[in-house]
Amino acid sequence: MNEMKEIVDHEDAELVRRGRAGDRRALEALFGRYEVPLFGFVRRFVSGAAEPADVYQEIVLRAIENIDRYNPKLSFRTWLFTLAANYCKNVLRSREQRGKFRAASVQRLGDDAVVDVIETARDASRSPDEGVENAEFVEALEQELQNLPPLQREVFILREFNDIPFKEIAAILKIPEATARSRMFLAIDYLRVRLKEFSAGGASSSRAQRRR
């Protein structure tokens, strides 16, 4: 038990080193560390196009098979999510999903106009049925994510659900940081319009209609 705890406490680079040497427990600890955020990313990205569990498993297998290609001087999370993003996009291409996504609004937004969509919705309602409304919002949000162009969707998921900085998102997707921010702004612009019923006024109106 103490030995396993000692393994879990290691930095990513040390777990990779041990994994390369054949330590399966080190690999289990390493990928277990990223299981929740990575699966969440995969599920939201390929939902409706493929079975998320199958895609997630394939990504992990590919990561293990290519672990020798990882450069310990770089962030393992960046390397892993780069592999995941590339594989998910290949899944969408192979399923010919790109044609069904509607483009988001192209209205330009400044840095100070960016709104945290999830936190805005959470703060909007202060009623006893707040939990129900938040659940409804999350469900509506995940449905609308499928209508975003994949290039905007991947940035939004990495930033909003995994709290990854734009600088790292740019490294993961191999794009300029300004491009990552622009795609995030466009995604938020689209989602703000599509989810406006969950704003303070919209939420109240929605509640009133349901109670009639």
Q: Which amino acid is at 186?
A: L
Q: 20, 67 in Cβ contact below 8 A?
A: yes
Task: Give the list of residues 6+ apart from residue 203 with CB closer than 8 angstroms, or none.
Answer: 121, 124, 125, 133, 197
Q: Does the residue 105 lie in any domain?
A: no
> What pLDDT is attached to residue 130?
54
Spans of the chain below 50 pLDDT: 1, 97-118, 120-128, 201-212
Residues 96 and 115 in one domain: no
Domain of residue 26, CATH code = 1.10.1740.10
Nearest by Cα to 143 from 19, 79, 48 = 48
CA gap 60, 70 in Å, rounded: 14
> What pLDDT is attached to residue 106?
33
Boundary of a domain, candidates 100, 125, 147 = 100
Q: Which domain holds residue 181?
A: 111-211
Residues 87 and 127 in one domain: no
> How deeply is 182 buried, as exposed, middle or buried, from its count of CB atoms within 10 A (0-12, 13-18, 19+)?
middle
Q: Does the residue 77 lie in any domain?
A: yes
Segment 17-22 long-range contacts (CB within 8 Å, at least 24 positions apart):
17/72, 19/64, 19/67, 20/67, 20/68
CA gap 167, 178 in Å, rounded: 9
> What pLDDT is attached to residue 179?
96
Residues 116 and 95 in one domain: no
Residues 9 and 80 in one domain: yes
Residues 154 and 68 in one domain: no
Domain of residue 194, CATH code = 1.10.10.10
Residues 116 and 146 in one domain: yes
> What pLDDT is attached to residue 41?
96
SS3 annotation, 120-184: HHHHHCCCCCHHHHHHHHHHHHHHHHCCCCHHHHHHHHHHHHCCCCHHHHHHHHCCCHHHHHHHH
Residues 89 and 121 in one domain: no
Take residue 153 and report the two structure tokens written for it: 């969707």
Residues 160 and 93 in one domain: no
Nearest by Cα to 89 from 26, 149, 28, 23 = 149
CB atoms within 10 A of CB 157: 25
Q: Does the residue 22 lie in any domain?
A: yes
Q: 197, 123 in Cβ contact below 8 A?
A: no
Distance of CA 86 to the CA centre of its chain: 13
Boundary of a domain, candidates 100, 135, 150 = 100
> What pLDDT is attached to residue 167?
96
Q: What pLDDT digit, counting tens, does each position of 82-137 carry? A: 999 999 999 988 875 444 443 333 333 333 334 444 454 444 444 445 555 677 88
Give pTM, 2 decimals.
0.74
Residues 67 and 157 in one domain: no
Q: Does the residue 166 lie in any domain?
A: yes
Residues 11 and 74 in one domain: yes
Q: 120, 195 in Cβ contact below 8 A?
A: no
Q: Does the residue 196 lie in any domain?
A: yes
Boundary of a domain, candidates 71, 100, 129 = 100
Residues 31 and 85 in one domain: yes
Residues 96 and 159 in one domain: no
Total number of domains constituting the chain = 2
